[in-house]
Amino acid sequence: MSKYGVLVMGPAGAGKSTFCSALITHLRNNRRSCFYVNLDPAAEEFTHEPDLDIKDLISLEDVMEEMGLGPNGGLIYCFEFLLENLDFLTEALDPLSEEYLIVIDMPGQIELYTHIPILPALVKHLTKTGALDINLCAAYLLEATFVVDKAKFFAGTLSAMSAMIMLEVPHVNILSKMDLVKGSVGKRELKRFLDPDSTLLDDAPGEEDVDDGTQQAGESGTMMRGASFKRLNRAVAGLIDSFSMVSYLRLEVQDEDSVGEILSYIDDAIQYHEAQEPREPNDEVEYDETAGEN
């Protein structure tokens, strides 16, 4: 039996847990079954209680205390431990039917998404045919405020691309916290970031051709300075451009339509609807009535 799931990833504080919570609310409002998995061993508070929590297997606090590790090393240890105890996931996820959307909330340590092969091993286990067989979509969140600093935006886009290449599962990239840039970044300007290419750098303010060796962070809204830094940025942007792989969906997490729109991209990516039994027309009527009461 196939299963369906979304792995919510992205740098620290990108809004992953908030998105998971909004997604679960939306799924419930639409009478869809979901199963919430928290894989952040440091997460304490949840809007929706997780159905499966890595902390029941191992907690970051214990690891740091007992192994004398810091938060990042501790997190890697937790994931290595999880990989040695994959039954923890298998036993909980195996009984789920194809109706469920499994929502997996990941921690924000960037190491996980870049150079440590833990995530590919985890994803292989989740998606392996004959085992859990989850049709999995990766959702990579990047904060919309990154568009204010183009160097930061391209660095974030590069990490999204790195996750895409590493995981080899369908992927949606999401610009989260759109409310924070409304008003400060024009609509047309913002559109250019949804399908980023190297022309975004053509009119970057604060760029200078002289290599003055300063290369420190400029004020917010400007590129870091220095000709060699500019060349590096161009090379990174050119790389992203030549792959033509990264584009973003906008997320306004408070707006249910926006959450619904992202969900429809995820559903398409994993072909969720193709596997579902058709619903009785009466189901819809019932849903509409309850929706009206809220």
Residues near ligand GTP (CB under 6 A) = 10, 12-18, 40, 107-108, 176-177, 179-180, 253
Q: Tell the residue number behind the tokens 């286990």, with chain if given.
A: 125
**Nearest-approach distance from CB 48 to Mg ion, in angstroms:** 13
Phi/psi at 38 (nearest 5 deg)? -95, 120
Q: What is the DSSP letter of 48?
A: S
- Cβ proximity to ligand GTP, 143 vs 207, nearer residue: 143
Q: Which residue is nearest to Mg ion (CB)?
A: 17
Task: Report the C-alpha gap between 218 and 97 in whole angstroms.
Answer: 52
Considering only residues 1 to 60 of the shown chain, the ones binding Mg ion according to CB under 5 A are: 16-17
Phi/psi at 174 (nearest 5 deg)? -130, 130
- Say if CB 228 and CB 215 are below 8 A apart: yes
| Residue 3 binds which of Mg ion, ligand GTP, none (CB < 5-8 A, kind-dependent) | none
If one asks whether residue 109 binds Mg ion (CB under 5 A), the answer comes out as no
**Nearest-approach distance from CB 227 to ligand GTP, in angstroms:** 35
- Cβ proximity to ligand GTP, 179 vs 283, nearer residue: 179
- Tell me how crowded residue 274 is: count the other CB atoms within 10 A of its CB: 11
Length of the chain: 294
**Nearest-approach distance from CB 212 to Mg ion, in angstroms:** 40
| Residue 250 binds which of ligand GTP, Mg ion, none (CB < 5-8 A, kind-dependent) | none
Parallel, antiparallel, or unpaired for β 52-53 and 101-105? unpaired
- Say if CB 232 and CB 211 are below 8 A apart: no
| Residue 156 binds which of ligand GTP, Mg ion, none (CB < 5-8 A, kind-dependent) | none
| Residue 12 binds which of ligand GTP, Mg ion, none (CB < 5-8 A, kind-dependent) | ligand GTP
Residue 218, both tokens: 């400029």
- Cβ proximity to ligand GTP, 239 vs 249, nearer residue: 249
**Nearest-approach distance from CB 40 to Mg ion, in angstroms:** 5
Task: Report the C-alpha gap between 63 and 109 in whole angstroms.
Answer: 16
- Cβ proximity to ligand GTP, 41 vs 226, nearer residue: 41
Task: Report the C-alpha gap between 251 and 260 in whole angstroms.
Answer: 10
Q: At what angle do helices 227-243 and 150-167 cross, to 10 degrees?
A: 40
Task: Report the C-alpha gap between 105 and 52 in whole angstroms.
Answer: 11
Considering only residues 198 to 237 of the shown chain, the ones binding Mg ion according to CB under 5 A are: none
| Residue 38 binds which of Mg ion, ligand GTP, none (CB < 5-8 A, kind-dependent) | none
- Cβ proximity to Mg ion, 39 vs 236, nearer residue: 39
If one asks whether residue 145 binds Mg ion (CB under 5 A), the answer comes out as no
**Nearest-approach distance from CB 28 to Mg ion, in angstroms:** 20
Residue 291, both tokens: 């929706």
Site residues, Mg ion (CB under 5 A):
16-17
